[in-house]
Amino acid sequence: MLSYQHIYHAGNLADVHKHSLLAWMLDYLTRKDKPVSYIETHAGRALYDLSADEARKTGEAAMGIARVRDWFAADHPYMKSLVQTAETDGENAYPGSPMIATQRLRDSDHITLAELHPGEHNALELALPTATCRRSDGFAMAHSMLPPTPRRGLMLIDPSFEIKDDYDTIPTHIRKYVRAWNVGVIVLWYPILTSAAHHNMLKTLQSDHPNAFRHEVRFPPARKGHGMIGSGLFVSNPPFGLSRTF
C-alpha cells in the first residue's frame, strides 16, 4: 500500500516483539566468522522520530517501547541498538528493522532492502547510504535474488497487511523462498487480529513448514476499537537456540 507509513506505529509493542527477536537472530548469525545476507521486503524508512506528530497522534510508542524498555538487559542486542540509536540520533529516535540490521551486522555482510513508497524509500536511502535500497515490490525482489550471495543469512517479511490478499499469497511466496534458499532463515511478522484474518494463513504455513518456530505475544489494543491485539513471528529454518531463548 503506497499510503502506509510506519511512523504512526513505530515503537509499539509489535515493534518491540519483532525487533528484539530480530536483533537476537542477527547476533546469532554473526557469531561465526562468515558473511551473511540480510534481505527485507518492506523496509520503511529505517529511522523514526517518536516525538513527531504522527507518532504522538496514535500513542502507540508511549504504550510500547516507552513502557517496556527496562525489560531488556544492557547486553541484549536489541538494547544495544536502542542505545546506539539514541547516542547517534537523539533520545526520541527509534531504529526500524533495517537500522537494527545495519547496526548488528558487519562490513563483510550484505544488506538488500525493498520499499515501494517513494517518500519512505527516499528516507531509507538517506538513513542507510551503504545498504542496497530498491524502490520495488519486496516480494518480487526476493524472488529475483534468491539464493543470495553470501548464502548464509536472513530475510524479514514485514508487510503492513493492509492489502488483504497478503494473507492468501504470503504462504505461496514463502514456500517458493524456502525452496530457493533452503539454508536461509526466513522470518514473517504478522498481526494477531480480533478479526482472525491471520488464522488461515498460519494453518497453511504450519502445514507447509512443520519444523518452523512460531512465537506470539498478546497485548491490549493500542486504542479503543483497534483490531490488533498481539504480534506474531513465524520463522522457517530458525537459528539454534531461538526456541529456548524466547
Quote the CA–CA distance of 135 and 121 in Å, as a whole number: 6
Instruction: Spell 153-179 as b/e; 16+ CB within 10 A means b.
Output: bbbbbbbbbeeeebbeebbebbeebbe
Q: Of 15, 109, 158, 166, which one is the catalytic site residue?
A: 158
Q: Taking a C-beta distance cutoff of 8 angstroms, is the pair 201, 212 a contact?
A: no
- Taking phi first (over 0 means left), then psi (-120 to 50 degrees means alpha), and beta for anything else, what does residue 70 get? alpha
Task: Determine how β-strand 47-49 pairs with β-strand 110-114.
Answer: unpaired
Q: Taking a C-beta distance cutoff of 8 angstroms, is the pair 177, 186 a contact?
A: yes
Return the amino acid letter for 156.
L
Local structure of 13: helix, strand or coil: helix
Active site residue 70: no
Q: Taking a C-beta distance cutoff of 8 angstroms, is the pair 23, 104 a contact?
A: yes
Nearest to 23 by CA among 109, 96, 118, 132: 96
Quote the CA–CA distance of 112 and 131 in Å, as a whole number: 6
Positions marked active-site:
158
